[in-house]
């Protein structure tokens, strides 16, 4: 008994052959997959970075002129580095516990924490106060009163042989004493480093560390201000040539900053107060007079001021070259950023010459330091926009 053939479905007269049914239709790709990924608390992250920048700038100002002549700020100054590290720790802990840290930010946050810890540990005042607070106070020795003394007895003709005294067994230090000993060791190492390299180079290292923290925090704040999709889209339109020039300007300005810190630290700004000459000559006298030769790079006032001037000229020349090169950029915001950076280089150079001609007074020195900080931020912003430009269209900036 044979099986009946399956009946074929009759087709309509005008039905096209090969048209897929709705279940067979290809699924259209969905956009916004990058934005659908966890973005983290980017606004909270940006505010955290801004708070770190404010505390680092406060550290810079108090280190440049302790307390500004105000006794209350003199008491605050040793604890600004500790407050900086505390704000970092609270922010990192909050983002970690809430799991709102954006993907890929772990190493960035850890690097910032290491810098904050080094800046806080470079001032031994809070650590020494912690050691004093934890160290046990020595017991006061009570002398017996005269009326409580026993009556005198006659000594025998031959004194007895004293019994051997057993050596006292040292008690194990308590955890509190161990922390105090560790704090004393840290303070001793910091003072040894300060004595070895000198007070001026040590304060210059603190200055450079604070500027580096401000730079990294500002870069991360710029990153957090945009979404991940916007950063990826902008990265495709990056300008490597401008980015390289901005990187060179940023590094050269950081070296200039360190040399300027040494010039201020050893009082070299008030030695040669003429410009463009130095003591009536193009080269200062006794340029390499110290022995060994490497000491001149840290202590020779003439060599340090001459190096500071030459680096300023190089920075100005490279800034003008970057300005000319940035005119080819198709992004208006990037061009404006390089214009601002180059103009500020020129203003900072003029302010440096004015400070020099007036013998490096305190108010001009502080203004010069503030100008260096503003220039540092302008250069970092120009570098960021060369890497992640803001795309412009007919309707405006995206």
- Name the percent of the chain in helix, strand, coil, to the closest 5: 65, 0, 35
Taking only the tens place, the pLDDT of each residue in 155-191 is 555 555 665 665 555 567 777 767 777 777 777 877 7
Average pLDDT over residues 207-233: 93
Closest by Cα among 188, 207, 324 to 254: 207
pLDDT of 93 = 92
3-state secondary structure of 391: coil
Question: 303, 343, 307, 308: which is closest to 323 by C-alpha?
Answer: 343
Crossing angle of helices 106-121 and 42-64, in 10° steps, is 20
Does the pLDDT at position 348 exceed 60? yes
**Structural element, H or E, at residue 393:** strand 392-393
Query: Which whole number is the average pLDDT over 28-44?
Result: 57
pLDDT tier at 219, thresholds 50, 70, 90:
very high
Answer for the pair 287, 300: CB distance below 8 angstroms, yes or no: yes
Q: What is the pLDDT of residues 100-142, one digit of tens each?
A: 888 888 899 999 999 999 988 887 777 776 667 666 655 444 5
Best-predicted range by mean pLDDT (102-111, 277-286, 372-381): 372-381
Task: Give the mean model confidence (pLDDT) for residues 61-85.
Answer: 72
What are the Cα distances from residue 278, in Å, to 37, 141, 282, 359? Answer: 60, 65, 6, 13
- Give per-residue pLDDT as tens, 138-156: 544 455 555 555 555 555 5
In three-state secondary structure terms, 8 is coil
Q: Return d(Cα 375, Cα 326) in angstroms, integer.
A: 17
Residues in Cβ contact with 311 at an 8 Å cutoff, skipping those fewer than 6 apart: 252, 255, 256, 259
pLDDT-derived band at 309, boundaries 50, 70, 90: very high
């Amino acid at each position: 008994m044979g099986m009946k053939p399956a009946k074929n479905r009759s087709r309509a007269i005008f039905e096209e052959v090969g048209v897929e049914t709705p279940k067979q239709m290809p699924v259209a790709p969905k956009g916004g997959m990058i934005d659908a990924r966890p973005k983290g608390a980017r606004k909270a992250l940006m505010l955290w970075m801004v708070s770190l920048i404010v505390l680092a700038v406060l550290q810079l100002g108090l280190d440049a002129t302790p307390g500004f002549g105000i006794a209350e700020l003199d008491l605050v100054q040793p604890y600004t580095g500790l407050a900086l590290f505390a704000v970092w720790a609270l922010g990192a802990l909050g983002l970690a516990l809430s799991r709102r840290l954006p993907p890929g930010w772990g190493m960035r946050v850890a690097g910032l924490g290491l810098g904050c810890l080094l800046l806080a540990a470079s001032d031994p005042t809070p650590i020494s106060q912690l050691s004093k607070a934890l160290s046990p106070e020595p017991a006061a020795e009570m002398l017996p009163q005269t009326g409580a003394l026993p009556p005198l007895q006659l000594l025998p003709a031959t004194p007895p042989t004293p019994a051997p005294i057993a050596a006292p067994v040292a008690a194990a230090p308590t955890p509190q004493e161990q922390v105090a000993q560790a704090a004393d060791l840290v303070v001793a190492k910091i003072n040894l480093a300060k004595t070895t390299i000198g007070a001026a180079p040590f304060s210059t290292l603190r200055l450079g560390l604070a500027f580096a923290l401000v730079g990294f925090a500002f870069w991360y704040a710029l990153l957090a201000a945009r979404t991940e999709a916007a950063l990826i889209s902008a990265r495709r339109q990056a300008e490597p040539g401008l980015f390289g020039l901005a990187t060179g300007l940023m590094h050269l300005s950081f070296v200039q900053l360190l040399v300027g810190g040494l010039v201020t630290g050893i009082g070299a700004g008030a030695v040669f107060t003429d410009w463009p000459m130095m003591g009536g000559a193009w080269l200062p006298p006794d340029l390499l007079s110290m022995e060994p030769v490497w000491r001149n790079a840290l202590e020779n006032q003439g060599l340090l001021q001459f190096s500071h001037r030459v680096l300023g000229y190089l920075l100005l020349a490279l800034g003008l070259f970057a300005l000319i090169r940035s005119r080819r950029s198709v992004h208006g915001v990037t061009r404006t950023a390089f214009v601002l950076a180059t103009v500020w280089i020129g203003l900072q150079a003029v302010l440096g010459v004015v400070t020099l001609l007036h013998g490096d007074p305190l108010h001009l020195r502080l203004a010069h330091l503030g100008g260096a900080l503003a220039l540092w931020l302008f250069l970092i912003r120009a570098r960021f926009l060369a890497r992640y430009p803001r795309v412009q269209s007919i309707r405006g900036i995206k």
